[in-house]
Amino acid sequence: AQKVTQAQTEISVVEKEDVTLDCVYETRDTTYYLFWYKQPPSGELVFLIRRNSFDEQNEISGRYSWNFRKSTSSFNFTITASQVVDSAVYFCALSGLAGGTSYGKLTFGQGTILTVHP
């Protein structure tokens, strides 16, 4: 069975602060994908990143960066110099790759509500 835990239910920061959203996962699969999605107040689910379990390199995209550590089963997300427009709910998710027991099935964490104040 797969499980994704986002321990931070809500985070509140002031604009320009850096913020890190934590994600810890459990899976019996040896190969898997990890994802982050953003859900702004408008409600849609916006894809941010997909990381293959083979690749532990950190990734940076503009103000966003992701830290994947297989040894601790964590896939944390950092926003640098946060902005009001970053206010949203952020979801971490996990799916199995071909051949695994959870192939094709995307399991979400409970989400972290991020509020960035001006």
Partner 1 sequence: DAGVIQSPRHEVTEMGQEVTLRCKPISGHDYLFWYRQTMMRGLELLIYFNNNVPIDDSGMPEDRFSAKMPNASFSTLKIQPSEPRDSAVYFCASSLAGHGYTFGSGTRLTVV
* Residue whose CB is less far from partner 1, 43 or 118: 43
Q: Yes or no: say if 66 and 51 are a contact pair by the CB < 8 Å rule.
A: yes
Q: Does 104 bind partner 1 (CB under 8 A)?
A: yes
Q: Does 106 bind partner 1 (CB under 8 A)?
A: yes
In 3D, which of 63, 70, 51, 72 has the Cα closest to residue 20? 63
Q: Yes or no: say if 32 and 96 are a contact pair by the CB < 8 Å rule.
A: yes
Q: Does 61 bind partner 1 (CB under 8 A)?
A: no
Q: Name which position in 13, 15, 17, 33 contacts partner 1 (CB under 8 A).
A: 33
Amino acid found at 20 = T
**Binding segment (CB under 8 A) for partner 1, from list 38-46, 53-61, 63-71, 75-83:** 38-46
